[in-house]
Homo-oligomer: A and B are copies of this chain.
Amino acid sequence: MTRTATDTRERILDAAQGLILAQGYGATSIDDILSHTDLTKGAFFHHFRSKKDLATALIERYAAHDAELFRAFLARADRLGRTPLQQVQVLLGLYEEEMAGLSGAHPGCLFASYAYQAGLFDEVTKRVVRKAFLLWREEVAARLRRAMETRKPALPVSAEDLADGAMATMEGAFVLSMTLRDPSVIARQIRQFRNYLDLLFGAG
């Protein structure tokens, strides 16, 4: 695959991602995607065997980027935080910072978009989404579990539920942000979840 070929593929995926987040996979036609590039049908079907193939490639790319960002933030958080709890707080802080820096409206999360059209995708595709959530749960819960070994939380909670809670807060905040057309709610809700952790474990 030459240089241009990869570029073409990426251009298609970029256009597809924007449209699918805005109107859903089912309502996004291939012509629609192509009209946002300077390509034609021939090019599309050279790179993707079918629309389903595009769906899979897109979510895989999205999951890869997501995991990459997550691991980068996690690495920074692990360096910056001295305790496991601090590391989680820094991690969430980095996401809060990221979301606070949003200029326009948040485009939403492709995982949730796929979840709300799950009937259109096969198991392979849905497993990609599941794995992304489980990666988050695994890494965050591990740190919280270690935190709980040294400091007992104020209320009885499980590390997994806490990890999921952070994820849920973000996903839910995306939905609110989209309907209320207010990008600021995301950062504010992440901050609230950080409050919760502070109160559970004691700040600092």
Which of chain B's residues have a CB closer than 8 A to the CB of A185? 161, 164, 168
**Min CB gap A176→B, angstroms:** 5
Which of chain B's residues have a CB closer than 8 A to the CB of A111? 175, 179
Please tell me which stretch of A8-16, A24-32, A82-90, A92-100 contacts chain B, meaning at least 4 of its Cβ atoms lie within 8 angstroms of it: A24-32
Closest to A127 in B: B179
- A13-42 residues with Cβ-Cβ distance < 8 A to B are 19, 21-28
CB <8 Å contact, B169 and A168: yes
Interface residues on A, range: 35 or more
A interface secondary structure, majority: helix
**Min CB gap A52→B, angstroms:** 12
Q: Chain A, 39-54, contact with B by CB distance < 8 Å: what is the 0/1 string?
A: 0000000000000000
**Min CB gap A199→B, angstroms:** 4
CB <8 Å contact, B24 and A180: no
Closest to A155 in B: B195
CB <8 Å contact, A118 and B26: no
Q: Among A120, A167, A195, which residue has the most Cβ atoms of chain B within 10 A?
A: A195
CB <8 Å contact, A192 and B165: yes
The 7 closest A-B pairs by CB, nearest first: A26-B27, A172-B172, A168-B172, A23-B119, A199-B199, A171-B172, A26-B26
